[in-house]
Structure 1
Amino acid sequence: MQVIVLASQKGGAGKTTLSRHLAVEAERVGEGPVALIDADPQGGLARWWNRRAAETPIFVSSTLEALPENIERLRKAGFRHVFLDTPPQATALIRDVVRLADLVVIPARPSPDDLDALGATIDIVEGEGKPLVFVINSATRKARLTGQAAIVLSQHGTVAPAIIHRSDTIPASGIAGQTVVEVDPKSSPAQEIAELWTYLSSRLSRGGRGTLSKPAKAARAKTARPA
């Protein structure tokens, strides 16, 4: 079983939205059974799931402290993937969550504020020796800032080649407990989600390669941000 943790100290980075979209996509392409765990007290993932008519992916409500036990139960039950949404914090509890991960996905909007807020999350992932992948989320198409953000992020770890661009259809799909892939499978946002999961699934099958390197750690000591 693979545990994918969505983590970021920055609120609004897209952890909850990506959690549900990736979980549904994994089920759609036959890589289930899949479980979602909402460890964020704000409960955004839980509210989405309660609006959902489909029976999959399943949902597990859990405190941060109870995660190891709940994950072990899912493992014994034969689940293939678990997506874990976390609160926007960088605390000892988040460190404990990251310790359970096979892959940590860090969404980041291409803005100086978002990039500046990544340091604490990166430090936690690096401290636990876990593989990570940055996902550029809510990007503006053809914007120079998106490319600059990718360059900055690449100094600290692996950046997913699939970029999720800003689209009203992504949040709108959540109104009925769905995802954009279910609402409009041929749309550009749906294609981006599909490409992102294909990439992440490939990384997981290779053991999640993508941990921080020593040069990346050194680069973080410099103040690097997009112009």
Structure 2
Amino acid sequence: MASIAVYSVKGGVGKTTLAVNLAWCASAISRRKTLLWDLDAANGSGFLLGVDPRKKRSADSVFADGGDPAKLIQTTAFSGLDLLPADESIRAIDRQLDRLGKKKRLAKMTAALGKTYDRIIFDCPPVLNELSAQIIRAADLVIVPLPPSPLSARAFDVVVEEVRGSGKGHPPILPVLSMVDMRRTLHREAREANPKWPVIPLASAVEQCAVTRQPVGAFAPKSPAARAFAQLWTAIERKLAER
């Protein structure tokens, strides 16, 4: 099992779209039994996969002592891909984790879920708190989406500092240029400055994910965006193989 965090401290960078499409690639391309764990209160991953959260769901029931996240997992319309959805109750989970006083609670739950799943992908909240620290401790790889802008570069520096601050055994970081439009000078310059970083283009197919409520590869498999997600997933699998 390997766990992958898609993380940024800045909103609007394509984090959830990236997490959903990578989860689909894991299940559809690599044929890995995959769990997408939505830890963002907006429940964007569930929306993009066409899964609505169950009523009366409580994040406390997941993280409390004895809580079993497997009971809250929902299947999706895509073979081999399940979802552990979020809802607004997760906004208070930082206080819950502080009360528990267990710094590796999420890592232990991830290890338990790893008995069922080959790949676990975290759609992380854009915050710096105890939850983000626990996600980093649980992750084998941290993916950071970066639209070409000075603010994104600054946010990346914050993420790097946060990850490295977790200790010597911190997971590797893979930056990804997202929402790239090569017609724009700033975007071309960002690409030229970081030629080895994976690139996800600004494309109508990516925007259509929210309309169709499907990953790009499911409804536009031959599109440049679908190829970009697939190439990124291949790079991720190579990175995981180096562990």
TM-score, normalising length: structure 1: 0.80
2:78 to 45, 51, 54: 54
Q: Identity over aligned residues, as a percent? A: 27
In 2, the alpha carbon distance for the partners of 1:47 and 1:199 equals 27
* Matched residue, 2:163: 125
Give structure 2 stretches of 5+ with no counterpart: 53-75, 98-104
* Matched residue, 1:25: 25
Preserved CA contact (<8 Å) 1:35 1:60: yes
Matched, 1:114 2:152: yes
Per the TM alignment, residue 113 of structure 1 is displaced from its structure 2 partner at its CA by: 1.8
In 2, the alpha carbon distance for the partners of 1:176 and 1:117 equals 30
Amino acid corresponding to residue 163 of structure 2 in structure 1 = V
* Matched residue, 2:5: 5
Per the TM alignment, residue 142 of structure 1 is displaced from its structure 2 partner at its CA by: 4.4
In 2, the alpha carbon distance for the partners of 1:84 and 1:55 equals 19
In 2, the alpha carbon distance for the partners of 1:58 and 1:69 equals 19
Per the TM alignment, residue 132 of structure 1 is displaced from its structure 2 partner at its CA by: 0.4
Preserved CA contact (<8 Å) 1:134 1:160: no
In 2, the alpha carbon distance for the partners of 1:161 and 1:118 equals 13
TM-score, normalising length: structure 2: 0.75
Preserved CA contact (<8 Å) 1:31 1:80: no
Equivalent position SS for 2:200: coil
1:141 to 160, 182, 186: 182
Count of residue correspondences: 201
Per the TM alignment, residue 127 of structure 1 is displaced from its structure 2 partner at its CA by: 1.4
CA RMSD of aligned residues (A): 2.1
Map Cα deviations across residues 108-164 of structure 1 (whole Å, 9 max, x no partner): 100112212222211111112220000000011243323433566x5xxxx854311
In 2, the alpha carbon distance for the partners of 1:149 and 1:47 equals 31
Moved more, 102-111 or 60-69: 60-69
In 2, the alpha carbon distance for the partners of 1:119 and 1:177 equals 32
2:113 to 74, 87, 92: 74
Amino acid corresponding to residue 94 of structure 1 in structure 2 = S
* Matched residue, 1:174: 210
1:96 to 123, 134, 151: 134
Equivalent position SS for 2:84: strand
In 2, the alpha carbon distance for the partners of 1:186 and 1:151 equals 26
Amino acid corresponding to residue 148 of structure 2 in structure 1 = P
In 2, the alpha carbon distance for the partners of 1:67 and 1:60 equals 13
